[in-house]
Amino acid sequence: MGGRFIGTIVGIIANPQSGKDIRRVIGAASVVDNNEKVSITRRILGGLVSEGVSRVLYMPDHFDIVGRALEHFRGTLDAAPIAMTFTGRQGDSAVAARAVSDAGAACAIVLGGDGTNRIVATAIGDVPVVAVSTGTNNALPTWIDGTTAGIAAGLIARRRVDLDTCAPHTKRLDLTIARPDGSETADIALVDAAIIRARFVGARAVWDARALDWLFLARGEPGAIGLSAIGAHLEPIGPDDDDGLWLTISDEPGGECVRAPIVPGIVETVCVSSHGHLAPDTRFDVRDCPGVLALDGEREHEIGPHDIVTVRLSRKGPRLVKIRETIASAARRGAFRVPAQTESTGARQ
């Protein structure tokens, strides 16, 4: 199979801004600096090379994360930065994702948090995504060694495993804010969407559960930290479950109260006044609830007093690679087996 895949492109989008928000100040979340991201990327590249990937297209940035990692692979990889202007804003990830998709990449690797992956999802199309966490407050990307992530990406890129099994389309929350003047704002979330009692977007990160009015979850997995942990500790919803979850939050007595880790090192008691399942492709409207709409843990859009927020759950999210399942599937197919050597290769005794 190898010859057919010479030249297979893998995209790498490493967000230099991830892992540094206010949650590192108010809680005990880890800080993943850009030097560590260079190290993670170097390990990713090693995994890619081991699976025969020869071409890499990457997002440039002011720290040159991928470029620095590539210094160790000169003559091994044909790598090039995307022709784009890096601005240091979240839109950079969308520009890069679109370029990776347009280039016909067979897989994309994203270093960042839930927010970075959300932005990538708006433009990546059908390209499978290996989401590598660069922090401790993420529900979607996986906290895993870069070598393993690179191996999984190489297997996916070279189609050594079944794509629909190992990289299925994940769930997505489609949201629309309809205003009285007829204008609309549409956006998506991959993990959670929350309506917060606030007048302005302000600091983007959401860290105070007491400000929540509504919470919508595409997934709420035990072990997650962040808003999705509220649902996970009340009624777990996995990525493979068909439904999502909606919850209304109140600071008044009544309903059900759960303890949940909203920020690393901080466990809060959150009172849920009502909740229920969010069925796929079913419209859910929220009216008369001014505030701010937060998507995947970051405040994004202001909501006026007469605006209508519509939420739908779908399976139109990106192809999210199941890293461990991918490697296990490849192993069952014999992808890692090496022909027996007739002579000693100097193996360690």
pLDDT digits (tens, 9 = 90+) for 53-67: 999 999 999 999 999
Identify whether residues 130 and 235 lie together within a single domain. no
* Domain contains 345: no
Do the domain assignments include residue 225? yes
What span, in angstroms and rounded, lies between the C-alpha atoms of 92 and 132?
18
Quick check: 215 pLDDT over 50?
yes
pLDDT of residue 4: 36
**Residues 337, 347: Cα–Cα separation, whole Å:** 16
Judged against a pLDDT cut of 90, whether residue 20 lies above it is answered with: no
Examine the domain organization and report whether 217 and 268 are in the same domain.
Answer: yes
> 176 with 162, same domain?
no
Q: Are 204 and 243 in contact (CB under 8 A)?
A: no
Q: Is residue 343 part of a domain?
A: no
pTM confidence score: 0.91
Q: Is the same domain home to 202 and 214?
A: yes
Report the range of poorest mean pLDDT among 171-185, 202-216, 230-244. 202-216
303 has which bridge partners?
Answer: 291
Rounded to whole angstroms, what are the CA distances from 203 to 94, 156, 199, 294? 21, 37, 12, 11
Domain span at 103: 2-169+318-332
Q: What percent of the chain has pLDDT over 70?
A: 91
Regarding whether 48 and 19 lie in a shared domain, the answer is: yes
- Could you tell me the pLDDT band of residue 341, with boundaries at 50, 70 and 90? confident
Cβ count near 240 (within 10 Å) = 10
Q: Judge whether residue 318 has pLDDT over 50.
A: yes
Same domain, 196 and 152: no
Residue 83: CATH number of its domain? 3.40.50
Whether residue 271 sits in one domain with residue 208:
yes
Q: Is residue 246 domain-shared with residue 275, that is, in the same domain?
A: yes
Residue 123 and residue 145 share a domain: yes
Q: What is the secondary structure of 75-94 as a DSSP string? A: TT-EEEE-SS---SSTHHHH
Written as one string, the DSSP assignment of 96-125 is: HHHHHHHTT-SEEEEEE-HHHHHHHHTT-T
Mean pLDDT on 274-290: 97
Q: What is the count of structural domains for the chain?
A: 2
State pLDDT tens for residues 241-278: 999 999 999 877 678 999 999 988 899 999 999 999 99
Residue 236's closest CA among 218, 221, 256, 217? 221
Query: 34 and 106 share a domain?
Result: yes
Q: Which residue type, as a one-letter code, is found at position 104?
A: G
The answer as to whether 344 is a domain residue is no
User: The tokens of 293 are what?
Assistant: 């709409």
